[in-house]
Amino acid sequence: MKKKFPIFILGCDRSGTTLLRLIMDSFTNIGCPSETKFIYNLLKIKTDTASHVGIKTLKISDKELFSFFKKTIEKFMQSYLKSRKKKRWCEKTTHNLLNANLLNNIFKKKVLFIGIVRDPLNVINSLNNKNIKEFSVLKKYMKNNNKINACAQHWYEMNNKLKVFAKNNKKNFLLIKYEELTVEPQNTLKKICKFIDEKYNPNFISYWNFKHEYFYDDKIAVRKKYIKLREINKTNRKKILKKLKNKNKLMKLSNYYNYKI
**CATH number (domain holding residue 248):** 3.40.50.300
Q: What percent of the chain has pLDDT over 70?
A: 93
Residue 3 has pLDDT above 70, yes or no: no
**pLDDT for residue 1:** 46
Res 168 pLDDT > 50: yes
Query: Total domain count for the chain?
Result: 1
Q: State mean pLDDT over 214-225.
A: 67
Closest Cα to residue 18, out of 181, 209, 149, 247?
A: 181
In a domain, 2, yes or no: no
* pLDDT band at 130; cut points 50, 70, 90: confident
> Does 83 reside within a domain?
yes
Q: Where would I find the beta strands (DSSP E) of 129-253?
A: 173-177
Does any domain span residue 70?
yes
On whether the CB atoms of residues 185 and 227 are closer than 8 A, the answer is yes
pLDDT at residue 154, rounded to an integer: 94
The pLDDT, as a whole number, for residue 15 is: 96
Domain span at 215 = 7-256
